[in-house]
Structure 1
Amino acid sequence: MFGKVRAWSARRGRLMDALRVAPVAVLCLLPAVPQVFYEPGGVTGYVFLTLVLLAPLFVWWRRPVAAFAGVALVSFGQWAASVDVLPANFVVLVALWAVAARSSFRWALAALLVAELGVFLALVRWDTPTLGMFTTGSILVVTVWLAGLYASTRRRYLESLEERARRAELERDQRAKMAAAAERARIARELHDVVAHHVSVMVVQADGAGYAIASDPDQARLAVRTISRTGREALAEMRRLVGVLREDEGAGGGTDYTPQPGLAQLEDLVRGAGVPATLRVTGTPGELPEGVQLAVYRIVQEALTNALKHGGPDARAVVELDCRGCELVVRVTDDGRGAAAPLASGGHGLVGMRERVGMYGGEVTAGPRPGGGFEVLARLPVPRVRAA
């Protein structure tokens, strides 16, 4: 498709060049019409030289320097062969204007000097050249040159205006996005306070129900109903909070209510990691908070993805989970060649790991192993979830 577009652009450019040259060609060939009736023998040479002078103009808009050089060389050859000046020789002024309008000032100045030299050489062939004739020719050349410089300045000014308008539009969109993000953050903070209040009410009501369940069952049932109602409100507010935070993901992101993965899905993750991996679990995980389980799952996923991307075709990985004591230790090692490769999965990498572990007061380290390969080590001091 892009090839067709480029081909069409090239054909369109050649067509536009031909349309620009056509009026000049007509004006230059009109003087040959009378010679067809009075001097038929001189028409062929006149038309041929005219076409040779006009030929470089077919690229004057896209390659003005090359067009000017071609016209200047043909004109110099015409002068060296003592051929009289033709109307087509004025195309050098068209090429001079194009150089001044579409090229750098250095090329424009060089073209002006060449054109002035052409005026001088043309007057040398004249029978009685005068200073006035040279001055008149120079004024004409300089006028065309200045017109080209003005066109160049005007074009660059318009381009700068377009660029400024484009930047202003981008800055406006950026400011709008920043304002929307700030507003979403403010709404999220407010919803967070609402959810925290609901949870606090639920805790208080649950404690009251626990104390009153034996002495006052009716009061306990009322507290349980309050907990249920408040929990539903908190869940609704939490969904609103998540929806606000995910607005910048676009319409395609949607809201996913699928349960987040945890330790129970680690075995499936290791089995389908794409790199040969082994899972070793020491101790009994017990009941861990869902957030901790999700953090462990994402850390292992991140490390295995890094091993798959940078470890090489023969890399193997080992996932170790130590659940003894009150500290959860996660170690992922591989024997690949990607020891110096940065962790990257979805654009988060090691930074994402540190953020997840940092929420629970833990720490994570990652780096090359002494014997080769790469190691990711995370420690999470997490409490167990108390049974009801």
Structure 2
Amino acid sequence: MVVRWWNWARGKKPLVDAFLAIPLVLLVASGYAADGWDMSRPAYLSLSAALLLPLLLRRTYPRAVFAVISLVAFGQAMAGQPPISADIALLPALYTMAATCALRWSIAAAVVAEAGAFIATFAFITGWEDQRIGLFTLTVVVAGVWLLGLYMRTRREYLRSVELRAERLERERDTEVQIAMAGERARIARELHDVVAHNVSVIVVQADGASFAIETDTERARKALETISATGRQALAEMRRMLGVLRESDDAGSYAPQPGVEQLAELVEQIRESGLPLEFAVEGVPLEMSEGRQLTIFRIVQESLTNTLKHGGPRATARVCLHYGDDAIEIRVTDDGRGAAARDDGRGHGLLGMRERAAVYGGGVEAGPRPGGGFEVVARIPVREEVRA
């Protein structure tokens, strides 16, 4: 509610300035009702209006408003008219100059206001002692209003710089996330290229074999055609997924065979040699899976263990379990490291990459600290197209 009112008020400056000038109007009205003024009532009202009305535009045209009020007050002093309540309008105009204008303009405004205090003191106050007290009082008031304006100007600039910095950091963070996502998708596209290229190579070899055996060994040719059919369906499924992760260039990475489930044992040994005690278990009957799914499983296990090495702590231990079900394989990687207490520098995108890899095959990844300490990553990858999430 307050923010909405503030946003509305920022666009209605004259209306807000008129509202803020109400106390001055009441002060002028009280002076009008009092007796003992040395000028006529019409002159008093005219001079008050000339001093107060410019305040309606003090934030829209601060320099012009200050100049008009200063000239009216100077003309009042030159005409020998004593100060009135409306002369206090010079202080809001001075504050606005100091709070919104450049430093040289605010200094000039302070000098003009101090000159006005000097003129008013020696023109309408008699007695050296009273003049000294009056000049000191007016100087303190002018300096206080000017310093308050400078403080508000400095504070607004600081808040504006903080907002700009926050916006810049937010843009940089979004850019880093987009770059990381683009890099991860490009890597997935390269790996899927390897898988599809392998399948196409198998199709070519089987087709050549079938063309030679079709007249001499019909059974062998039939099996080759069945292999071609199965491999083609698999390659077509991989190609459909790759349409969503198109890359712009092919200049990064070589097209070497990618690791799969069989290479998990080598990965486990490599992690153990790095100093992390690791247990590896396989439950259920291993299923036949495409190279793409095997690569996804390998990368999820690899990234999870890498996170354990980075954030688990020196005494952490880990466990990797592959559970083969009828329709899906579940990957569970747990450790007893720092868990929620681990420091996060905000630059890692491993969990994002794991979720994108699993989503390619209709699976999902859940990751987070364990209730008893440590961290856990659970991924589920469907092994058949008909059970995709």
TM-score band w.r.t. shorter chain: 0.5 to 0.7
What is the CA–CA distance in structure 2 between the aligned matches of 1:39 and 1:101, rounded to whole Å? 34
**Structure-1 residue corresponding to 2:179:** 178
1:181-260 → structure 2 map (5 Å cutoff): 181-245=182-246
Quote the RMSD (CA, aligned, Å): 2.4
**Long gaps (5+) in structure 1:** 1-7, 248-388
Q: Does 1:15 align with 2:21?
A: no
| Secondary structure in structure 1 of the residue aligned to 2:60 | coil
What is the CA–CA distance in structure 1 between the aligned matches of 2:70 and 2:192, rounded to whole Å? 76
- CA displacement at 1:123 relative to structure 2: 1.9
Does the C-alpha gap of structure 1 residues 159 and 207 become closer, same or farther in structure 2, counting only changes over 3 Å?
Answer: same
Deviations along 1:224-280, whole A, 9 cap, x unmatched? 121122112212211211112289xxxxxxxxxxxxxxxxxxxxxxxxxxxxxxxxx
1:137-148 → structure 2 map (5 Å cutoff): 137-148=138-149
1:252-271 → structure 2 map (5 Å cutoff): none
- CA displacement at 1:61 relative to structure 2: 1.6
Does the C-alpha gap of structure 1 residues 95 and 110 become closer, same or farther in structure 2, counting only changes over 3 Å?
Answer: same
Deviations along 1:149-199, whole A, 9 cap, x unmatched? 001001111111111111111111111111111111111111111111111
**Structure-1 residue corresponding to 2:61:** 63
Q: In structure 2, give the amino acid aligned to 1:93.
A: L
- CA displacement at 1:128 relative to structure 2: 2.8
What is the CA–CA distance in structure 2 between the aligned matches of 1:159 and 1:201, rounded to whole Å? 63
**Structure-1 residue corresponding to 2:93:** 95
**Structure-2 residue corresponding to 1:296:** none
| Secondary structure in structure 2 of the residue aligned to 1:185 | helix
What is the CA–CA distance in structure 2 between the aligned matches of 1:175 and 1:137, rounded to whole Å? 57
Q: In structure 1, give the amino acid aligned to 2:62.
A: P
The answer to whether the Cα contact below 8 Å between 1:205 and 1:224 also exists between their aligned partners in 2 is: yes
TM-score norm. by structure 1 comes to 0.58
What is the CA–CA distance in structure 1 between the aligned matches of 2:34 and 2:84, rounded to whole Å? 15
Q: Does 1:161 align with 2:162?
A: yes
The answer to whether the Cα contact below 8 Å between 1:29 and 1:50 also exists between their aligned partners in 2 is: no
What is the CA–CA distance in structure 2 between the aligned matches of 1:40 and 1:88, rounded to whole Å? 15
- CA displacement at 1:56 relative to structure 2: 1.1
What is the CA–CA distance in structure 2 between the aligned matches of 1:137 and 1:9, rounded to whole Å? 32
Does the C-alpha gap of structure 1 residues 82 and 57 become closer, same or farther in structure 2, counting only changes over 3 Å?
Answer: same
**Structure-2 residue corresponding to 1:113:** 111
**Structure-2 residue corresponding to 1:375:** none
Q: In structure 2, give the amino acid aligned to 1:121.
A: I
> Structure with the greater relative contact order (CA < 8 A, sep ≥ 6): 1 or 2?
2
1:280-299 → structure 2 map (5 Å cutoff): none
Does the C-alpha gap of structure 1 residues 94 and 40 become closer, same or farther in structure 2, counting only changes over 3 Å?
Answer: closer
What is the CA–CA distance in structure 1 between the aligned matches of 2:115 and 2:39, rounded to whole Å? 32
Does the C-alpha gap of structure 1 residues 16 and 212 become closer, same or farther in structure 2, counting only changes over 3 Å?
Answer: same
**Structure-2 residue corresponding to 1:31:** 31
The answer to whether the Cα contact below 8 Å between 1:29 and 1:47 also exists between their aligned partners in 2 is: no
**Structure-1 residue corresponding to 2:298:** none
The answer to whether the Cα contact below 8 Å between 2:185 and 2:247 also exists between their aligned partners in 1 is: no
**Structure-1 residue corresponding to 2:132:** 131
The answer to whether the Cα contact below 8 Å between 2:13 and 2:59 also exists between their aligned partners in 1 is: no
**Structure-2 residue corresponding to 1:335:** none
1:35-50 → structure 2 map (5 Å cutoff): 35=35, 42-50=40-48
Q: Runs of 4 or more off by more than 4 Å in structure 1?
A: 8-11, 38-41
Q: In structure 2, give the amino acid aligned to 1:224.
A: L
What is the CA–CA distance in structure 2 between the aligned matches of 1:41 and 1:125, rounded to whole Å? 16
Does the C-alpha gap of structure 1 residues 150 and 161 become closer, same or farther in structure 2, counting only changes over 3 Å?
Answer: same
The answer to whether the Cα contact below 8 Å between 2:14 and 2:60 also exists between their aligned partners in 1 is: no
Structure 1 range deviating more: 93-102 or 135-144: 135-144
- CA displacement at 1:40 relative to structure 2: 12
| Secondary structure in structure 1 of the residue aligned to 2:152 | helix
